[in-house]
Structure 1
Amino acid sequence: MSGELFVFGLGYSARAFVERARGRYRRIGGTVRTAEKAAALRAEGIAAVVFDGGAPSPAVTAALRTATHLLVSVAPGAADPVLAAHGEAIAAAPALEAIVYLSTVGVYGDHGGGWVDEATPPAPKSVRSIERVAAETAWTALGRATGVPVALLRLAGIYGPRRNALADLAAGTARRLVKPGQVFNRIHVEDIAAAIDAAFAARADGPVNVCDDAPSAPQDVVAFAAGLMGVPPPPETDFATADLSPMARSFYGENKRVSNRRLREHLGVDLAHPSYREGLTALWRSGRWRG
Structure 2
Amino acid sequence: MGHDAGGDVLLVGPGWLGAPAAVALAAASPTRRVFTASRSDRQAPVGCQALTADVTRGMADPAFARAVTAPLSAVVVCVAPSRARGDSYAVYPAAARGAAAIAEALGAEALVYISSTGVYDRHDGSAVDERTLIAPASERVRALFDAELTVLAAAAAGCRATVLRAAGLYGPGRDPGPRFAAGSVEPESWCNFSWRDDVIAAMRHVLTLPATHGGTIYNCTDNTPVQAGAITHALTGLPAGAAETLVDDGTVRAGRSNQRISSAALLATGWRPTMPTVFDGLRALGHPLPGHPLPGHPLPGHPLPGHPLPGHPLPGHPT
- Fold shared per TM-score above 0.5: yes
Equivalent in 29, 35, 39 of residue 35 of structure 2:
29
Structure 2 length-normalised TM: 0.72
Equivalent in 280, 283, 291 of residue 282 of structure 2:
280
Q: Does 1:198 align with 2:208?
A: no
1:163–1:89 CA distance, 2 compared to 1 (3 A):
closer
Larger RCO of the pair (alpha carbons < 8 Å, separation 6+): 1
1:124–1:181 CA distance, 2 compared to 1 (3 A):
farther
Q: Which residue of 1 aligns with 2:130?
A: 118
1:159–1:132 CA distance, 2 compared to 1 (3 A):
same
CA distance in 1, matches of 2:254, 2:22: 29
Q: Does 1:139 align with 2:151?
A: yes
Unpaired runs of 5+ residues, structure 1, are: 228-232, 238-242, 286-291
Pairing 1:29-178 to 2, within 5 Å after superposition: 29-35=35-41, 37=42, 40-41=43-44, 44-52=46-54, 55=57, 56-62=60-66, 63=68, 65-75=70-80, 77=90, 80-85=93-98, 87-94=100-107, 96-110=108-122, 112-144=124-156, 146-166=157-177, 168=178, 175-178=182-185
Deviation at 1:50, TM superposition (A): 1.4
CA distance in 2, matches of 1:284, 1:175: 17
CA distance in 1, matches of 2:218, 2:74: 18
Deviation at 1:139, TM superposition (A): 1.3
CA distance in 1, matches of 2:12, 2:104: 15
**Deviations along 1:166-211, whole A, 9 cap, x unmatched?**
4x47xxx963124253111001001101110111011453110001
Partner AA of 2:34 in structure 1? I
Deviation at 1:58, TM superposition (A): 1.4
Deviation at 1:142, TM superposition (A): 2.1
> How large is the RMSD of aligned CA atoms in angstroms?
3.1
1:84–1:271 CA distance, 2 compared to 1 (3 A):
closer
* Corresponding residue SS for 1:197: helix
Deviation at 1:53, TM superposition (A): 5.1
CA distance in 1, matches of 2:228, 2:69: 41
Unpaired runs of 5+ residues, structure 2, are: 81-88, 288-319
Equivalent in 253, 256, 259 of residue 256 of structure 1:
259
* Corresponding residue SS for 2:286: helix
* Corresponding residue SS for 1:80: helix
Contact 2:167-2:193 within 8 A present in 1 as well: yes
1:244–1:90 CA distance, 2 compared to 1 (3 A):
same
Deviation at 1:236, TM superposition (A): 5.2
CA distance in 2, matches of 1:279, 1:19: 21
Deviates more, 1:190-199 or 1:45-54: 45-54
Partner AA of 2:223 in structure 1? D
Deviation at 1:251, TM superposition (A): 6.8
More helix by percentage? 1
Partner AA of 1:235 in structure 2? E
Contact 2:25-2:34 within 8 A present in 1 as well: no
Deviation at 1:143, TM superposition (A): 2.0
Q: Which residue of 1 aligns with 2:8?
A: 4
1:125–1:57 CA distance, 2 compared to 1 (3 A):
same
CA distance in 2, matches of 1:190, 1:86: 23
Equivalent in 182, 185, 189 of residue 192 of structure 2:
185
Deviation at 1:79, TM superposition (A): 6.3
CA distance in 1, matches of 2:40, 2:164: 26
1:86–1:16 CA distance, 2 compared to 1 (3 A):
closer
* Corresponding residue SS for 1:10: coil
Q: Which residue of 1 aligns with 2:83?
A: none
Contact 1:64-1:90 within 8 A present in 2 as well: no
CA distance in 2, matches of 1:235, 1:135: 40
CA distance in 2, matches of 1:186, 1:263: 15
Deviation at 1:218, TM superposition (A): 2.9
Q: Which residue of 2 aligns with 1:240?
A: none
Q: Does 1:15 align with 2:19?
A: yes
Partner AA of 1:195 in structure 2? A
